[in-house]
Structure formats: C-alpha cells, structure tokens
Structure 1
Amino acid sequence: MEMNNNLIIIIAIASIAILLIAAIVILKLTGNREKKDTFIITGICDSGKTSLYLRLRNDKVMETHTSITENEGRFPLAQEDEEKVFHVIDFPGHYKLRYKYQDFTPITKGVIFVIDSATFIKNEREVTEYLYEILANKYISENEVSILIACNKQDYLIALPKERIKTALENEINNLRSTRAAGVEEQDEDNVDDFLGYENEAFKFEHLPNQISFIECELKSGNANSGISEIKDWMVENF
C-alpha cells in the first residue's frame, strides 16, 4: 500500500513538472512571436536582397543565386555592437513566394525594400505594385513600421539616382490608388488599408504615417561608400 502511495506521488510530481516545462516553452514561444524585433528584407527578384543579408550578417561580398526559400537568422550586425541581436529575414523575390512576409508583419520592426536601380525602368510596374502592397498592409500602416528603400546597384552606369526612383514610385502609386492593382487585390481584405495618402492630392511618401527613407547602395561592392554603413545605422536607429 505504501509503495502504491509513493508511486502515485512520484507520478503526480512528474506530471506537474511536465506541465510546468510545457507552460514555460509555450510562454517563451509566444513571447518571441509577439516581440517586435524583426527586420524584413524584400523586393522583386535579383534586386540584391540576399547580398544585403550576407553583408549584414558577416560583411562578406559573395556570389548569390535566386532562392526559393527565405534566409533567416538572429545575429548582431557585422562589425557592430554584439549585444544588439537582430532578427533578420530575407524573403524570395518570386511573385509566388514573396507574400510570405505577411506572416511576420505583426512582429516587424522595419522593412528594407531593395530595388535594382539599373533595371528599375523595365520593372517599374512590378516594383511599385509590390511596394504598394507592403505600404497598404494594415500591420505596417497601423504600427507605423519604418521602411527603408535601398536603391541598389548604383555602381552600374545606367543606375537611376534615388531621387528619380522616388518620384517615379510616387507617380506610379498615384495611378495604382485609383485602380487598386491586382497585386493588392490578391491579399486578404482584412490585411489591406483602403487608401494610401491623402484623397484629392497627388501621392507623396510624406503623406504616409510611416517613416519612409531612401538610400543609394552598391551591395556587391567593396567600396567604403557602398551604403551598408547607412543601412546598419538605420537598423540600429529603429531597433
């Protein structure tokens, strides 16, 4: 009888221990999910997203290839304060895969939207539609998530300066507002704001609640003026 009682006590203690461990794990996972500490790197294909991810992680210029899966990691920025650990996710640029970023917008601290400045004229419509979707996302808008538009490949002779890219994006977004481009309609209506900017006024990035910044960069260049330092500064400022 005494042995049975001891067995019951042991089982009860073990059960309580298992429940406590499970509760701690769940709380930890939930806490990580709710913490807004994520920086998203996105843009259309071949804009230089993975190059940026690698520069941030280990400051290496490496050959990259179009990927179908995201790169994700928690790390201090290369050659920066090691006590600040950033959660960074680089999403594929393919139109069938890029929308995965929406799963992380509730915990997003900042978005880095990378543009190929050398092919922007050819891809202007696709770039603008995708940027529109990000700006119209309710989590991005309501939480006033900061957005950095990185105008990459400035080392190419045909690259457009950031001022021209900004103006072109504003004009194209102004057109998209009235037509509600197909890319926006693909999103869940509950996750999309109705209108960007001010009604009856031409669209300007300054009309948005978010802080929108533009920077010129050349992420595969080893030059001191590659723009990577400015991108890191922006991330630290928005950490």
Structure 2
Amino acid sequence: MEKETLVEESTTSDFTKIYIAIIVVLVTLVLFLIYRSRTVSRRSVLLTGLCNSGKTVLFARLVHGQLVKTFTSMKENAGEYIINGSSLKIIDIPGHERVRDKFFDQYKPEAKAIVYVVDSTLIQDEIRDIAEYLYNILSCPDIANNKINVLILCNKQDIPASKNCSTVKTMLERELTTLQITKSSQLEFVDPKIKKSSLLVDGDNFQFSLMSSIKVDFVDCNATTTEDGSPNLEGLEKWLSKIV
C-alpha cells in the first residue's frame, strides 16, 4: 500500500513538472511572438520638422518619384517606398506646432527611423525652434528605449544661402547645450531627483556623438532640383538602405 502511494506521488510530481514545462514554453512563445510582432511592425520612417522645411516635397519624391507643389498641411501623408527589394512606410508628419506632437505621438510606436528635415537656408533664423523640437524628439523615452535611428536632413542645398550639414550640426550642438542646461535647471527647481533624467548627454557641452542610446547622422539634401534638373537624394537613400 505504501509502495502504491509512493508511485502515485511520483507520478503526480512528474505530471506537475510536465505542466510547468509546458506553461514555461507557452509563455516564452507568447513573449517571443509579441516581441517579433513589435519588431516587424516597426517599418515606418517618420519625416518630421518645422513647417516649410520641405518634408512633403521629399515625401512626394520618395513615394511618387515626382516634384509637387505643397502647402502647409494639418494631416499626415503616408505611402510605400521600395528600396533594396524591401518596403518602408514613409509618413510625412505635419510641421504645424498645433498638430505635429499629436501625429508624432500617434506614429512613433511604429517608427523604425526618424528623418528630421531642416531648412538649411533658415537655420540661423529658426535655430531655437528647430533645436527645441529636436530636443523633444531626442529626449522622448520611446525613441531612446527603442534605439530609433535619427537622421538630420539638411535640405535645400541648391540655394546659395544654405548651410551644409557640418555647420548645421555645430549650430545645433551649441543650441542644444543651452537647452539642456535650461531644461535641467527648470526640472531641478521642481524636483532635484529628476535632473539627471532630463539630460540628453552627461556633461556641460552637448555633442551628438556622446548620445548613448540614439545614433544621429547628418546628410545634405536637395529635394527640388539640381543643375541637371534632378533632385539630390543620394545621401538620404544611402542612409535608408542601411536601416531596411
């Protein structure tokens, strides 16, 4: 009788181990599928920036292969861009300050990369607004945690007054240094414990190369026409081919 009881307990223990193993496998499979679905769903490239920076012209060039007349839009544009046999979803986020945050928040969960378009002819006049919006993007936890690729696209290089990407980078680093100090001081005044989390980089001087979780690249671009009548999207297309 005692032997039968031991056998029953042993059998029950074996079944329990099997059930636990099955549950562990199922939970692991579910978590893997969730992770995979999120990874696969991140195939969108968000075109964002201030109004009139050339985002919609750029969108039309990439998606439709043609130059179009544009105007300030209050809604997004979306289309497919084929490169290296793969497809990316290009989303043109409106630049108007009243709606851009709303659309950016809507589409950032599916973002594989962000192209921040800058009008390099107006960089000196708009540097504060350009840097402020860029700061908000780079300090967004979703962007940092998912290590989203970011490209600063210095557009309108066909215009003599434009600044090249090296100059734009230097100007943005200088302005972002000021912004980082200002915003850190504001947050420290509210709660000293959150000062550290407000920093884009450690140290007094901001540099893109010092960012630990986000890689930021710079490329010159001309979405309209060059001397031979064609746009100059070579740098952008090369960058997009790397993130597919």
TM-score by length of 1: 0.76
Aligned counterpart in structure 1 of residue 87 of structure 2, from 74, 85, 88: 85
Q: Give the aligned residue type for 1:109.
A: K
Out of 221, 232, 236, which is 1:227 matched to?
A: 232
1:124 aligned to 2:127?
yes
Unpaired segments ≥5 residues, structure 1: 1-26, 185-192
Q: Which has the higher helix share?
A: 2
Q: Is the 8 A contact 1:34 1:107 kept in 2?
A: no
**Counterpart residue identity of residue 92, structure 1:** P
* Residues 93 and 201 of structure 1, relative CA distance in 2, 3 Å threshold: same
1:147 to 145, 150, 166: 150
Shift of 1:88: 1.1
Q: Deviations over 1:134-186 (max 9, x none)?
A: 100111111111111110111111111111110010011001112229xx9xx
Q: Does 1:71 align with 2:74?
A: no
Change (3 A) 1:132 1:59: same
> Which SS does the other structure have where 1:163 is aligned?
helix
Q: Is the 8 A contact 1:61 1:222 kept in 2?
A: no
Aligned residues: CA RMSD: 2.3
**C-alpha offsets along residues 96-123 of structure 1, whole Å, 9 cap, x if unaligned?**
1111212222221100000001111111
Q: Which of 92, 104, 114 in structure 1 is aligned with 2:107?
A: 104
Q: How many residues align?
A: 196
> Aligned equivalents of 1:141 and 1:158: distance in 2?
34
- 1:1-239 mapped onto 2 (5 Å cutoff): 31=37, 35-76=41-82, 80-81=83-84, 83-99=85-101, 100-180=103-183, 194-198=198-202, 200-208=203-211, 209-222=213-226, 226-239=231-244
Q: d(CA) in 1 for partners of 2:161 and 2:226?
A: 19
- Report the CA distance between 1:126 and its aligned residue: 0.4
SS at the partner of 1:85? Answer: strand
Percent sequence identity over aligned pairs: 29
User: Is the 8 Å Cα contact of residues 41 and 114 (structure 1) preserved in structure 2?
Assistant: yes
Secondary structure class of the residue paired with 1:72: strand
Alpha-carbon deviation of 1:223? 5.2
Structure 1: which amino acid aligns with 2:243? N
> 8 Å contact 2:121–2:162 — kept in the other structure?
yes
The TM-score normalised by the length of structure 2 is: 0.74
SS in 1 for 2:198: coil
* CA apart distance, 1:48: 0.3
Larger Rg: 2
